[in-house]
């Protein structure tokens, strides 16, 4: 059971229920409109939580296999700066994707409203952007359609985090096995102090012309195309104007292929040299373009934004108690963490970022040890043991949802509606009890567990099944969750 993996994607369920019975749509609040569907604001009838729901007419789904990739990517990505997909619905006419509601509007609109950002405002926004690009590239995903419109602010606050949306054109350029293999190689190489690089070629024309790299226009490119687009975004945030333009598409394409852009005159003469240097290393031909790690390591990115960043005390006790919880409780906490509202966990997100020194959206054992040791005198073996247990999917790194699950405190997860939702997520047939088969339906969706014998699922139930009748009723579930 130690090796049972918990992945955030397990909890993104596809429902055949009538969506109108679950969510009240606010058709006056159109949040976005893409080639593939429209995004509306909606409210959950019972919990009253706001959601952003993308409605995709089935008639628009030309290539079901490609569409399935988008959903699969959205289910798997787990990063504080990437929009969260909660659940999906399907009826005769449409597919519905239920996302977290970001109230802060598009990055595009804030840039336009301000004409352009100051360097430190730009750095804050661009750091969020690069963190999710780096995370995607590390996980073998390229977005391929990066533009200002594809980033929305989580809240209306000035220091709100940005979230990446719309993976409609994204592509997996590496399989999970390749990534695992590469991670192993990387650790070996890191130990030897050498960096290595791989080459993967993608071959479709994708994206919006303004942000498109010349090699995308030619149709022969790799994930570096995202770095070009990010360079165009940085150029636009800092100056308020696009680097390439043309009176029509043909002229725009010609301007991109030529690759010349202006960085003199207003407002460029007041913009720092490091900022210009970074752009020059991003908007260049593919062969000499830097990668996401090098962008994050660039001197301009390292210039301090805020001086009042007082560290948050890390509470080792929360982590310790998570480690000792029964598997079922851990799974339920993962579910609640995966569905949590940003405002309930804002402090935990800050804590997560404090651990994640290199900003790749995951906590490595080195990052974990060095952060913990700033606050606690725990022996290294103890810290390592805790790390391994919090890393529920055994990826060797603690990801975002794992961290939130392990550090959330009871006044978040012991709320009646959270517990009820978690119970309902397991209780597929709505008969008021959770059975081993239902546990299997949630956790066994990973092909790895397809052939697991039923014993494993029974054992998960056993701990919480106080009256030993072979299943868990709501009372037993509540007791389990309340136990420390």
What residues act catalytically? 145
Shortest separation between residue 41's beta carbon and ligand PIT, angstroms = 8
CB 54 within 8 A of CB 37: yes
Shortest separation between residue 154's beta carbon and ligand PIT, angstroms = 8
CB atoms under 10 Å from CB of 351, counted, come to: 20
Shortest separation between residue 439's beta carbon and ligand PIT, angstroms = 30
Nearer to ligand PIT, 31 or 372 (CB): 31
Nearer to ligand PIT, 39 or 398 (CB): 39
Q: How are beta strands 141-142 and 37-44 bridged, if at all?
A: unpaired
Nearer to ligand PIT, 129 or 472 (CB): 129
Q: Is there binding between residue 332 and ligand PIT (CB under 6 A)?
A: no
Judged by CB under 6 A, the residue of 4, 101, 282, 398 near ligand PIT is 101
Distances 296 to 26, 133, 225, 310, 393 between C-alpha atoms, Å: 39, 10, 16, 22, 26
**How many Å apart are CA 449 and CA 5, to the nearest integer?**
9
Helix (H, G, I), strand (E, B) or coil at 141: strand
Judged by CB under 6 A, the residue of 6, 12, 39, 443 near ligand PIT is 39
The span of 161-169, 294-302, 383-391, 443-451 binding ligand PIT (CB under 6 A) equals 161-169
The span of 31-39, 131-139, 281-289, 386-394 binding ligand PIT (CB under 6 A) equals 31-39
Q: Is there binding between residue 31 and ligand PIT (CB under 6 A)?
A: yes
Diameter of the chain measured on Cα atoms: 77
Shortest separation between residue 202's beta carbon and ligand PIT, angstroms = 19
Shortest separation between residue 43's beta carbon and ligand PIT, angstroms = 13
Binding mask 121-160 for ligand PIT (x = CB under 6 A): -------------------------------x--------
Q: Which two tokens stand for residue 425?
A: 């997520």
Q: Provide the 8-state DSSP code for 80.
A: T
CB 463 within 8 A of CB 328: yes
Q: Which two tokens stand for residue 60?
A: 């628009």
The span of 131-139, 166-174, 249-257, 421-429 binding ligand PIT (CB under 6 A) equals 166-174
Nearer to ligand PIT, 165 or 233 (CB): 165
Nearer to ligand PIT, 97 or 480 (CB): 97
Q: Which residue is nearest to ligand PIT (CB)?
A: 52
Judged by CB under 6 A, the residue of 11, 40, 117, 167 near ligand PIT is 167
- Quickly list DSSP for 265-293: STTGGGS-HHHHHHHHHHSS-GGG---HH
Judged by CB under 6 A, the residue of 5, 22, 25, 34 near ligand PIT is 34
Phi and psi, residue 332, nearest 5°: -60, -40
Interaction residues for ligand PIT, span 80-99 (CB under 6 A): 83, 99
Shortest separation between residue 361's beta carbon and ligand PIT, angstroms = 18
Q: Which two tokens stand for residue 177?
A: 């096995």
**How many Å apart are CA 12 and CA 72, to the nearest integer?**
10
Nearer to ligand PIT, 167 or 413 (CB): 167
**How many Å apart are CA 65 and CA 71, to the nearest integer?**
10
**How many Å apart are CA 295 and CA 287, to the nearest integer?**
15
Shortest separation between residue 170's beta carbon and ligand PIT, angstroms = 9
Task: Return the H-helix or E-strand segment holding 166.
Answer: none
Q: Is there binding between residue 168 and ligand PIT (CB under 6 A)?
A: yes
# binding residues, ligand PIT (CB under 6 A): 16
**How many Å apart are CA 301 and CA 284, to the nearest integer?**
19
Nearer to ligand PIT, 165 or 283 (CB): 165
Q: Provide the 8-state DSSP code for 177.
A: H
Nearer to ligand PIT, 84 or 440 (CB): 84
Shortest separation between residue 105's beta carbon and ligand PIT, angstroms = 7
Nearer to ligand PIT, 37 or 243 (CB): 37
Q: List CB contacts of 8: < 8 A, sequence separation 6 or more.
A: 75, 76, 78, 334, 338, 399, 401
Judged by CB under 6 A, the residue of 121, 166, 226, 356 near ligand PIT is 166
Helix (H, G, I), strand (E, B) or coil at 415: coil
Distances 464 to 208, 405, 423, 458 between C-alpha atoms, Å: 52, 19, 13, 11
Cα(first)–Cα(last) distance of the chain, in Å?
21
Judged by CB under 6 A, the residue of 12, 124, 165, 230 near ligand PIT is 165
Q: List CB contacts of 311: < 8 A, sequence separation 6 or more.
A: 354, 374
Helix (H, G, I), strand (E, B) or coil at 393: coil
Interaction residues for ligand PIT, span 49-68 (CB under 6 A): 52, 54
Shortest separation between residue 30's beta carbon and ligand PIT, angstroms = 9
Q: List CB contacts of 100: < 8 A, sequence separation 6 or more.
A: 51, 52, 83, 84, 86, 163, 341, 342
Residues lying near ligand PIT in the complex (CB under 6 A) are found at: 31-32, 34, 39, 52, 54, 83, 99-102, 152, 165-168
């Amino acid at each position: 059971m130690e090796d049972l993996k918990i992945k955030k994607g397990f909890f993104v369920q596809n429902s055949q229920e009538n969506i109108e019975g679950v969510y009240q749509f606010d058709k006056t609040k159109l949040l976005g409109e893409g080639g593939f569907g429209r995004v509306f604001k909606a409210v959950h009838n019972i919990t009253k939580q706001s959601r952003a729901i993308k409605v995709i007419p089935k008639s628009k789904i030309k290539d079901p296999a490609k569409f399935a990739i988008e959903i699969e990517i959205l289910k798997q990505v787990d990063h504080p700066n990437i929009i969260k997909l909660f659940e999906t619905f399907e009826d005769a006419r449409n597919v519905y994707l239920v996302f977290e509601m970001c109230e802060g509007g598009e990055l595009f609109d804030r840039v336009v409203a301000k004409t352009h950002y100051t360097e430190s405002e730009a750095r804050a926004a661009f750091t969020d952007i690069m963190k999710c690009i780096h995370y995607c590239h590390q996980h073998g995903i390229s977005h391929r359609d990066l533009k200002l419109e594809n980033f929305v602010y989580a809240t209306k606050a000035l220091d709100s985090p940005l979230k990446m949306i719309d993976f409609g054109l994204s592509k997996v350029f590496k399989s999970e096995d390749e990534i695992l293999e590469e991670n192993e190689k990387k650790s070996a190489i890191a130990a030897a102090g050498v960096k290595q690089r791989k080459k993967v070629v993608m071959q479709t024309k994708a994206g919006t012309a303004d942000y498109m790299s010349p090699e995308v226009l030619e149709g022969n490119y790799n994930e570096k195309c995202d770095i070009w687009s990010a360079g165009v975004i940085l150029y636009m945030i800092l100056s308020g104007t696009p680097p390439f333009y043309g009176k029509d598409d043909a002229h725009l394409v010609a301007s991109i292929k030529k690759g010349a852009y202006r960085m003199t005159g207003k407002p460029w003469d007041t913009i720092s040299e490091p900022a210009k240097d970074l752009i020059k290393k991003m908007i260049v031909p593919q062969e000499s373009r830097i990668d996401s790690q090098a962008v994050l390591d660039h001197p301009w990115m390292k210039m301090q934004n805020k001086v009042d960043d007082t560290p948050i005390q890390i509470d080792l006790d929360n982590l310790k108690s998570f480690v000792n919880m029964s598997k079922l409780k851990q799974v339920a906490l993962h579910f609640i963490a995966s569905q949590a509202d940003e405002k309930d966990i804002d402090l935990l997100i800050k804590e997560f970022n404090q651990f994640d020194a290199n900003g790749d959206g995951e906590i490595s054992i080195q990052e974990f040890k060095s952060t913990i040791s700033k606050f606690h005198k725990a022996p290294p073996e103890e810290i390592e043991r805790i790390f391994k247990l919090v890393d529920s999917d055994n990826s060797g790194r603690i990801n975002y949802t794992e961290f939130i699950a392990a550090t959330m405190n009871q006044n978040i997860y012991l709320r009646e509606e959270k517990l009820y939702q978690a119970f309902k997520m397991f209780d597929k047939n709505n008969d008021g009890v959770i059975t081993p088969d239902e546990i299997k339906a949630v956790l066994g969706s990973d092909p790895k567990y397809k052939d697991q014998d039923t014993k494993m699922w029974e054992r998960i139930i056993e701990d919480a099944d106080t009256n030993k009748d072979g299943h868990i009723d709501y009372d037993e579930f509540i007791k389990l969750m309340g136990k420390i």
